[in-house]
Amino acid sequence: MTVRNRAVKGRALTIVAILSALVSAVLPVSAGVATNIHGYGFYEDGSPAYFDHVAVTNTRTGVEWNDTYFGIGHPQVALWQNYYVLTLDEPQNVQVGDVLTFHAVSGNSTSSNISQTTYSKLDLEYNITLSQISPLPSTQAHTLSLNHSSSLSPSPSPSPSAPPSSSPPSIEEHSSRSSYTSPPLSAPTPETISSPLAITPPRPTSVQSGLLPGFEACFALLVSVTLFFILRRKRR
- Domain range annotation of the chain: 32-130
Mean pLDDT computed over every residue of the chain: 70
Residues contacting 107, CB < 8 A, separation 6+: 49, 50, 52, 132, 133
pLDDT band, residue 14 (cuts 50/70/90): low
Which CATH architecture group holds 32-130? Sandwich (2.60)
d(CA 178, CA 191): 35
Model's pTM, two decimal places? 0.44
- Contact, 34 vs 88, CB < 8 A? yes
Comparing 29-38, 49-58, 120-129, 169-178, the range with the smallest average pLDDT is 169-178
Question: Over 60: is that where the pLDDT of 130 sits?
Answer: yes
Q: In what order do the strands lie in the sheet with 111-118?
A: 64-66, 51-58, 99-106, 111-118
